[in-house]
Structure 1
């Protein structure tokens, strides 16, 4: 279940068509410190039955005991020290109505083992506030109408 592992870098890709061109974006966020990590919900959304988001953080509900137990073992790192955090990135629609990817800086987690739910206590903020090390590349390519 490597999709549940905390990482030191995460890449988000975007693409859209604008008339005869396609615009492409690549955002790579780095969390290089020993006390920080990053994880994208888009990588494991198929393992979830629900994902609630509010001003205090996120509450993902897992489909089965094994994926929940694995996430608990890996993510509990954040509870190991006061300065441990990880950036959880919710993809478009992962929190029901968010129209784009949103980051939350998780600083502690509580687990409901009976219901396979993790409550991620997190600080809300924008990308500029929470992602301190990143590379952003944006470009465009012409769309060909002749695919043959």
Structure 2
């Protein structure tokens, strides 16, 4: 049986481990620089993000990490799903679907106008899964990012 619960401080190591598994899956095994202390601060001190844990028969098998954004067009907050991950042995169990449905419920309960996320263009299994859940691609939109040295340069702090 799949159960979804809100993450607790005791889950920080689990979440970071799953983040690292996700990074390997997404072909970026060395990209994770987050630490348990950083995740703890974000989730339980500054509350800039929230996380859910999916359990199959009482065993953690996945997580979702999300935060609020805001749409000036809808005049409402939205939920942005940063990460959704289910362990390989639990894929097909319904854990991913349960996490998305739970998040959709949170979005409705919080009067959000949108629930959105990004997916790598080569990740066909995920894209197919999201389409089956009713998601649609924002074909005319691309993600833009400034980080590291470029971020410092843009801020005039290089």
TM class by smaller structure: 0.3 to 0.5
TM-score by length of structure 2 reads 0.34
More strand by share: 1
> Relative contact order, CA 8 A, sep 6+: which one is greater?
1
More helix by share: 2
